[in-house]
Structure 1
Amino acid sequence: MTITVERPTANARTLITPQLLGRLVARIRADHPQHAHQADQIMEQALAFLATCAANPDARLGPSELVDIGWHTFILYTKEYAEFCFRAAGRFIHHQPDDAPGESAGGGPAATMTAMKRAGYRVDLTLWPHSAKCNQKCSQCHEGCVDST
């Protein structure tokens, strides 16, 4: 007999202070008004993505286009972003464009979503491309950005 115990989903929002989360969400709403209704989810998924990068330093994980908005926004707050990176990963999580995303060694968003689930984070499918789309046109994100150690 096999007993399966489901691991509780980690809450990515707790990775930063509520005050910083509020500032980041407000910044997304101001800078990306077309996504204002999703700003909270974008930031939550960006934090889950970054925590997954921290837990998988050798994987070339990449965000979806919408999740990348959250990453770009967080990077603007350089002091807080650097502190988060060193606290979560023990290193700076670099945001580096992949100049040839179609030839990337990474598995694209599908692999990233799998890694996020394995790390215990919820994946909001409204912010991530479906794997069928991924296989047809995978560029990691609109900028071809990956975590590069």
Structure 2
Amino acid sequence: MSTPQPHPVPPPCTSKQGDPKPSVASAGTTLPAPVTPRALLSDAQFTGVMHTVLDNNPGMEADMASRIVVDALAFLAVAARTPQGLVPSRVVDEGWHALILHTHLYQALCMGLGGFVHHVPERPDPGARSHGDVERTVAAIEAAGYSVDADLWRGPEDSLITVAASCQHSGPEGPIVIIPRPKGQAGQ
């Protein structure tokens, strides 16, 4: 659904990981792999994040916001275990932003998934955006056993679904750094 954006577009962003200070879950605690990304959150937590997406996107249907949050959870679950190279689509990025705004929930979720995934602002560069980056991320998510909603993972130029997020995320050499670093990954 295409809806005009009545609010100013937020600044562009990217992702990076750093030193977390867990207060809700410790770095040694990992969540069991859920059957679906939706299972990562309680009903109340999921509803809270979904309403953040809705608040940021007036006119969006609740079903669409729910789909966005589910795919953002799948992205986060895989990104927390992958040292670099994953980028959300423009639409899924909206769900990632909503998760991040729930700071305690986001921190505990990241630490339970394997590492804290930071989100660092990065100016968009239309020439640097690549659908190949999104395709690699989708392949990684599917390889981890999750399904993706193909309508949410279109290329950076696609405007089928209008969202407030307007971010650029780096490609395979991008600045995603997971703390703690997944086992078997060399330090930089």
Q: Same fold (TM over 0.5)?
A: yes
CA shift, 1:11, in A, is 0.2
CA–CA distance in structure 2, aligned partners of residues 98 and 31 of structure 1: 20
Q: Which residue of 1 aligns with 2:151?
A: 126
Pick one of 52, 60, 78 that aligns with 1:35: 60
CA distance in 1, matches of 2:146, 2:133: 17
Q: Equivalents in 2 of 1:143, 1:98: separation in Å?
A: 7
TM-score (norm 1): 0.75
- Runs of 4+ more than 2 Å apart: 33-37, 96-104
Which of 2, 20, 24 aligns to 2:49? It is 24
What residue in structure 1 maps to residue 81 of structure 2? 55
**TM-score, normalised with respect to structure 2:** 0.61
How far residue 100 of structure 1 moved from its aligned partner, in angstroms, is 7.1
1:68 to 93, 99, 104: 93
Q: 2:118 is matched with which residue?
A: 94
Taking every aligned residue pair, what percent have the same amino acid on both sides?
Answer: 32
Q: Distance in 2 between matches of 1:130 and 1:145?
A: 12
> Quick check: which one's helix share is greater?
1
**Residues 24 and 73 of structure 1 are in contact (CA less than 8 Å); yes or no, is this contact kept in structure 2?**
yes
For 1:21, the aligned partner's letter is: F
Q: What residue ranges of structure 1 are gaps of 5+ in the alignment?
A: 1-8, 135-140
What secondary structure, in the 3-state scheme, does the structure 2 residue paired with 1:35 have? coil
Letter in 2 for 1:128: W
Give the CA deviation at 1:35. 2.9
Secondary structure at the aligned position of 1:143 is classed as coil
Q: Take 2:145 and 2:85, find their aligned partners in 1: how far apart are those partners?
A: 18
Higher-RCO chain (CA-CA 8 Å, sequence separation at least 6): 2
Q: Decide whether the 8 Å contact of 2:72 with 2:95 is kept in 1.
A: yes
Question: Matched residue pairs, number?
Answer: 132
The aligned amino acid for 1:38 is M
Partner of 1:77: 102
SS of 1:123 mapped into structure 2: coil
Shift of 1:10: 3.3
Q: Partner of 2:120: helix, strand, or coil? A: strand
Residue in 2 that maps onto 1:5? none
For 2:168, the equivalent position in structure 1 comes to: 144
Alignment-mate amino acid for residue 93 of structure 1: V
| In the alignment, structure 1 residue 46 sits paired with structure 2 residue 72 | yes
Q: Is the 8 A contact 1:64 1:142 kept in 2?
A: no
How many Å separate the matches in 1 of 2:79 and 2:99?
A: 15
